[in-house]
């Protein structure tokens, strides 16, 4: 019943794949299992059928669950070669790529355990055209806003839009501060994005919009966005421009700018703070956009910077309690994917995964896993009076 219709050869292949994914040698795995290396080789080659207790030990050793290990329809994904082919270099990039790959694989495992087919909405792909990429980005961003029913409204939660409206797999985790975000696309699993929880909310918003630009234009080319990385090619210029245009559409910015500056003789820090807060972007990004649209003269941001900048203290004086809390930055270790949290909760309630497997799948330690399970329990035990689904 545990192995289903799997042959010894099929089980051996799954075990070998799991061991290699865990970067463990046959000798180390055999020692942990307390068998000879030749015995493990025989199991992986299908010459000797593994016992149930051996399968359980090997699954735990390889950092997976027995349920997932033996699922014949379990999806496998490895995004790492895509980044290597793209030529991404640097010691800081590999851990981030590995983390994104692990989190995507964990979501797939949960979906398989629960029998969930993820609903995706991949917008029409817009190949880059000859000419001015800014003009194309402005048009493409406006068309996507119309397609999503956003109109001119500000976007205060790019993660919810990416995850719940487009079906992208979005994760917020603390990674090297030099990296703002990662993006990859797979035809079977969709768009995958990792944002840096160590960065402020407005910066993560801009990074998410930038990666959305790649999703719209160069969908199958992975992207690793570094802090202050230059616009080295048309693809990056488009993604940066798309992010600006999507978050701060020209018509909306012009209308709000006219409204807030009505009767004023000079552009002040207060104007910038209110505009940036309304559109959910950084103060610098807001001023740069005003310059780009010709609503203020070039060099305005540099002038503010030379005058001491526009500080967080000044923003708090203007906005007060209107400044939103940033839980993801405070607790960067916690997996904040809304869908993964729901799936992990349901899988745990059904006894499909243990507390240890919750920790492994969500890449959190056992203390955080216990706290998360306490939250699951606090949501309320099922009773006869609990609401249920119809049908």
Pick from 175, 255, 168: nearest CA to 209: 168
Query: Which domain does 44 fall in, by range?
Result: 8-69
Assess whether pLDDT exceeds 70 at residue 309: yes
CB atoms within 10 A of CB 387: 5
CA dist list (Å): 207 to 19, 144, 158, 180, 342: 35, 17, 9, 6, 25
18 and 155: one domain?
Answer: no
Tens digits of residue pLDDT in 191-221: 999 999 989 889 999 999 999 999 999 999 9
Token pair 């795995």 in the structure block, residue? 29
Q: Note whether 6 and 72 are within 8 A (CB).
A: yes
Of 69, 87, 109, which residue constitutes the final position of a domain?
69
Backbone angles phi, psi at 225, to 5 degrees: -90, 120
Question: What global pTM score does this model have?
Answer: 0.78
> Which residue stretches of 148-261 are H helix?
158-160, 201-216, 234-247, 250-261
Same domain, 103 and 64: no
Tell me the two tokens of residue 153: 């409204």
Contact 128, 234 (CB under 8 A): yes
Is 383 contained in some domain?
no
For residues 227 and 179, is the Cβ–Cβ distance under 8 A?
Answer: yes
Count CA atoms within 13 Å of residue 40 on its CB side: 19
User: Residue 13: pLDDT band by 50, 70, 90 thresholds?
Assistant: confident
Q: Are 208 and 193 in contact (CB under 8 A)?
A: yes
pLDDT tens-digit profile of 78-116?
A: 788 778 766 665 677 889 998 998 889 888 888 877 878
389 belongs to a structural domain: no
Model pLDDT, residue 333: 44
Question: Helix, strand or coil for residue 213?
Answer: helix
Dihedral sign from CA coordinates of 217, 223, 227, 230? negative
Beta-sheet strand order (sheet of 223-226): 169-173, 190-196, 179-186, 223-226
Name the H helices within 150-229.
158-160, 201-216
Alpha-carbon separation of residue 279 from 142, 283, 340 (angstroms): 15, 10, 28
Domain boundary among 279, 307, 322: 322
Q: Which helix (H) or strand (E) holds 193?
A: strand 190-196
CA dihedral over 204, 209, 214, 216, signed as positive or negative: positive
Could you give the dihedral angle defined by the CA atoms of residues 204, 209, 210 and 215, in that order, rounded to the nearest 10 degrees? 130
Task: Please indicate, yes or no, whether residues 242 and 255 belong to a single structural domain of this protein.
Answer: no
Q: Which of 242-251, 262-271, 312-321, 369-378 has the lowest mean pLDDT?
A: 369-378
Count of domains forming the chain: 4
**Has residue 390 been placed in a domain?**
no
């Amino acid at each position: 019943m545990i192995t289903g219709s799997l042959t010894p050869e099929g089980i051996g292949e799954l075990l070998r794949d799991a061991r290699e994914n865990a970067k463990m040698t046959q000798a180390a795995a055999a020692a942990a299992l307390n068998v000879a290396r030749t015995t493990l080789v025989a199991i992986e080659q299908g010459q000797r059928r593994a016992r149930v207790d051996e399968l359980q030990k090997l699954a735990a050793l390889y950092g997976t669950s027995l349920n997932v290990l033996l699922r014949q329809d379990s999806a496998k994904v490895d995004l790492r070669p895509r980044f290597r082919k793209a030529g991404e270099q640097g010691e800081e990039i590999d851990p981030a790529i590995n983390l994104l790959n692990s989190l995507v694989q964990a979501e797939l495992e949960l979906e398989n355990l629960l029998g969930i087919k993820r609903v995706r909405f991949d917008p029409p792909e817009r190949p880059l055209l000859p000419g001015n990429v800014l003009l194309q980005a402005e048009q493409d961003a406006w068309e996507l806003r119309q397609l999503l029913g956003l109109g001119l409204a500000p976007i205060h939660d790019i993660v919810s839009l990416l995850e719940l409206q487009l079906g992208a797999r979005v994760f917020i985790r603390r990674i090297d501060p030099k990296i703002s975000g990662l993006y990859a696309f797979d035809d079977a699993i969709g768009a995958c994005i990792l944002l840096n929880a160590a960065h402020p909310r407005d910066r993560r918003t801009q990074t998410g919009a930038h990666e959305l630009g790649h999703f719209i234009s160069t969908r199958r080319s992975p992207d690793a966005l570094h802090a202050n990385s230059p616009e080295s090619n048309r693809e990056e210029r488009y993604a940066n421009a798309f992010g600006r245009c999507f978050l701060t559409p020209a018509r909306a910015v012009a209308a709000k700018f006219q409204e807030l500056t009505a009767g004023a003789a000079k552009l002040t820090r207060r104007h910038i703070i209110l505009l940036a807060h309304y559109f959910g972007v950084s103060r610098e990004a807001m001023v740069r956009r005003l310059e780009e649209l010709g609503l203020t003269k070039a060099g305005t941001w540099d002038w503010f910077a030379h005058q001491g900048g526009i500080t967080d203290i000044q923003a708090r004086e203007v906005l007060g309690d209107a400044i939103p809390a940033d839980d993801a930055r405070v607790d960067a270790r916690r997996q904040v994917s809304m869908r993964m949290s729901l799936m992990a909760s349901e899988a745990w309630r059904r006894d499909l995964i243990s507390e240890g497997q919750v920790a492994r799948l969500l890449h959190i330690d056992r203390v955080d896993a216990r706290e998360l399970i306490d939250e699951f329990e606090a949501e309320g035990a099922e009773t006869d009076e609990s609401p249920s689904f119809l049908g």
